[in-house]
Chains A and B, each alone.
Chain A
């Protein structure tokens, strides 16, 4: 795993750019907000599958509400 995409729900407005850029990782709920396709874990913490790092960076840069940040992989302790 190569880290995760953190969604700040206080900022997210469900504009749908991230769900287009990361269509294999994210889908939209009925109100347009992003949800992880894997459907497990914390909703605001989307694991970035290998090969999607660049798209995740694009999503962070282009998010119109600055609601996304990249988080490094959690260390197993």
Chain B
């Protein structure tokens, strides 16, 4: 039983990170306003949301099983307050930080229509902190975090997200960027 909790706890953490990487990439793609892989824009948005929620489910599984696991020695307080852990407290604390940021992002996303665009967006920026922190947590805390295979896939993920962020910052990021730039200075038609 303990073996199972330990195994599920580790694998689910990896799956959650993989899904969150996908969700970050899909989120940036949807922000560009372009269809992706032939999917219409609203499908990209829904895919971004659903991949993120699936990642959150695996995150809950990751944390839940390790709470039950005597080897991980995870306390409920570790879910809220970082850096108090028994095993590699710094790296586990990064997991706590990422968990709390993800919860903030998910809850504000669900409440978007109630709390308004500004508050939703402000919280959504946390993903750019949560993702690298979660990745660092996986490398530093994971039993196989420094395995060659994991480090290679982590490096590939960093390259993909960094590339997406650079694209996000480029002047032609928006689908409509060119059309709107050629009109710079003129009044937008109503």
Contact = CB atoms under 8 A, between A and B. Distances in A.
Contacts of B183: 31
Contacts, number: 45
B153 interface: no
Q: What DSSP secondary structure best describes chain B's contact surface?
A: helix
Given A31-B180, A32-B175, A15 B33 contact: yes
B112 interface: yes
A65 B176 CA distance: 16
A64 interface: yes
A65 B117 contact: yes
Nearest to B116: A66
Task: Kindly state the interface size class of chain B when it binds its partner.
Answer: 20 to 34
Contacts of A66: 112-113, 116-117
Interface stretch (B41-49, B86-94, B142-150, B156-164): B41-49
Interface string A14-42: 11110011000000011111000000000
Contacts of A61: 113
Q: What DSSP secondary structure best describes chain A's contact surface?
A: loop
A39 B23 CA distance: 38
Interface in B111-131: 112-113, 116-117
Contacts of B31: 64
B190 A17 contact: no
Contacts of A14: 33, 176
A32 B117 contact: no
Contacts of B175: 16, 32
Interface of B: 30-31, 33, 40-42, 45-46, 112-113, 116-117, 175-176, 179-180, 183, 188-190
